[in-house]
Amino acid sequence: MKKILNSLLYVFFLFPLFIHAVQVTINNLQPRLDINGIIMDAHDGSIQQFEKNGLYYMHAMQYGLCEEPPNYGCDGAGMSSKCGFQMNHNISIWSSPNLTSGSWSYVGNAINVADRPAGVVFRPHLVYNPNTKLYVLIWNYMRWNLPSLYAVAIAETPSGPFKLINSALNVSRGGGGDFDILVDDDGNGYIVYSQNYYMSVEQLTPDFYYSTGKSYMFKEYFVEAPIFMKKNNIYYVLFGWCCCYCMQGSGVLVHTSNNPLGPYTLQAEDDLACVTKSDNSITNVQLKSVNGLPTPNQGCEFHNINTTSIVRSQQNYIIKVTNSTGYTTYVWTGDRWQQAPDGIKGHEPQYWTPLNFYENGTIGKMQWLDEFILNV
């Protein structure tokens, strides 16, 4: 009788966890929509849930409704009038209760264009600083004929408004390109960033406004688009070959360490995303484009002209999705440049897929999924 009673109590206390678990469908075949049914203009940014059972916040680039270049995604780079390189792109904020298409609400712009340093903005990332109890937004901005820099702004909530606090984060290798921020369990912050086609990690000051200069440099050349994360006390840095809005997408190289400042070891399986163009798992859906052509010698084609990304994407961000039972799914996201359904830059889609981790901490190969079920 006692065993039966204990079992009933066990079910009773667990039952609320199951009734609050929600399964949603993530679709990669259709553009992601906001609550008004409009295609979201949201690219290369961060997506996070800061409070348990709270909203997911996306801080992303808003490129506008200009037309994609007719051939390669970076045609016209160096001209501020060209799509993808305009000075007035917004850092937009979106929120969603469950990450699904049709559930996203536009919150507003993170910071007015006039209140930020002049430049072409890329890859905004938001983190929460447990030391200052502030939200810290960092973005990369390109200045014509000058080094690219990182700007830092702060706010009391993820919705902003954000106030500029530092217009030039002092990374030790000078200016920089694509980046990501890791906040460790002890409250220390780290930035991983690309500069001159190489990747580095540096520790930030406790307020996350500056670099301490403590650093580690990776050996791979011609790389960008990093992700920095921690799982089961393993630090992961993922990045791929340079892919300037390239249609074919890029690779995913996984590096692991037991220390955020390294040394790091390249996962033995090597590239997770690049496959031969003859691979029959590359569907017709992935190959459709109004304007785009694969950019020669970039992305997956950098090492082998006969390869392409199986997900036709350049790495963007990994969303940590923890459900009511405490299980976390790591959802990899990538930008599908030059693949807008109507040829509009702001309508270029993203590809999302759950990562597969093995017991030894390695990550499985990427695969194309038309859609998948996610427990949120």
* Whole-number pLDDT of residue 80: 58
Residues 6 or more apart whose Cβ sits within 8 Å of residue 325: 17, 18, 21
Residue 189 or residue 287, greater confidence: 189
**In the structure encoding, which two tokens stand for residue 339, read together?**
């693949």
Q: Are strands 198-204 and 189-195 parallel, antiparallel or unpaired?
A: antiparallel
Residue 280 binned pLDDT confidence (cut-offs 50, 70, 90): confident
- Under 8 Å between Cβ of 328 and 320: yes
Q: How far apart are CA 325 and CA 299, in angstroms?
A: 38
* Whole-number pLDDT of residue 8: 40
Report if residue 16 sits inside a domain: no
Q: How far apart are CA 69 and CA 283, in angstroms?
A: 24
Q: Is the pLDDT of residue 283 over 90?
A: no
Report if residue 17 sits inside a domain: no
Q: Is the pLDDT of residue 277 over 60?
A: yes
Residue corresponding to tokens 């090492």 = 303
Residue 10 or residue 58, greater confidence: 58
Q: Where residue 78 sits, what CATH number does that domain have?
A: 2.115.10.20
Q: How far apart are CA 320 and CA 178, in angstroms?
A: 20
* Whole-number pLDDT of residue 78: 59
Residue 79 binned pLDDT confidence (cut-offs 50, 70, 90): low
Q: Is the pLDDT of residue 315 over 80?
A: yes
Report if residue 4 sits inside a domain: no
The pLDDT tens digits of the residues spanning 9-20 come to 433 344 444 445
One-letter-per-residue 3-state SS of the chain: CHHHHHHHHHHHHHHHHHHHCCEEEEECCCCCEECCCCECCCEEEEEEECCCCCCEEEEEEECCCCECCCCCCCCCCCCCCCCCCCCCCEEEEEEECCCCCCCEEEEEECCCHHHCCCCEEEEEEEEEECCCCEEEEEEEEEECCEEEEEEEEEECCCCCCCEEEECCCCCCCCCCCCEEEEECCCCCEEEEEEECCEEEEEEECCCCCCEEEEEEECCCCCEEEEEEEEECCEEEEEEEECCCCCCCCCCCEEEEECCCCCCCEECCCCCCCEEECCCCCCCHHHHCCCCCCCCCCCHHHHCCCCEEECCCCEEEEEEEEECCCCCEEEEEEEECCCCCCCCEHHHCCEEEEECCECCCCCECCCCCCCEEEEEC
Q: Is the pLDDT of residue 73 over 80?
A: yes
Report if residue 19 sits inside a domain: no
Backbone angle region of 64, left / alpha / beta, with phi > 0 → left and psi within -120 to 50 → alpha: left
Report if residue 285 sits inside a domain: yes
* Whole-number pLDDT of residue 272: 97
Give me the number of domains the chain comprises.
1
Residue 40 binned pLDDT confidence (cut-offs 50, 70, 90): very high
- Tell me the pLDDT of the chain averaged across its residues: 92
Residue 7 binned pLDDT confidence (cut-offs 50, 70, 90): very low
Q: How far apart are CA 277 and CA 367, in angstroms?
A: 14
Residue 336 or residue 52, greater confidence: 336
Report if residue 349 sits inside a domain: yes
Report if residue 6 sits inside a domain: no
Report if residue 8 sits inside a domain: no
* Whole-number pLDDT of residue 21: 66
Percent of the chain with pLDDT over 90: 83
Burial 5-15 (b: 16+ CB within 10 A, else e): eeeeeeeeeee
Residue 284 binned pLDDT confidence (cut-offs 50, 70, 90): low
Q: Is the pLDDT of residue 255 over 80?
A: yes
- Under 8 Å between Cβ of 249 and 307: no
Percent of the chain with pLDDT over 70: 91
| Domain boundaries, position 175 | 24-375
Residue 52 binned pLDDT confidence (cut-offs 50, 70, 90): confident
* Whole-number pLDDT of residue 19: 46
Q: Is the pLDDT of residue 322 over 80?
A: yes
- Under 8 Å between Cβ of 73 and 340: no
* Whole-number pLDDT of residue 13: 41
* Range in 276-285, 341-350, 361-370 with the lowest mean pLDDT: 276-285
The pLDDT tens digits of the residues spanning 174-208 come to 888 999 999 999 999 999 999 999 999 999 999 99
At position 373, the amino acid (one-letter code) is I
Q: In what order do the strands lie in the sheet with 90-96?
A: 43-49, 56-62, 90-96, 105-109
* Whole-number pLDDT of residue 75: 87
Q: How far apart are CA 49 and CA 319, in angstroms?
A: 9
- For the residues 223-234, what does the mean pLDDT come to? 98
Q: How far apart are CA 237 and CA 231, in angstroms?
A: 11
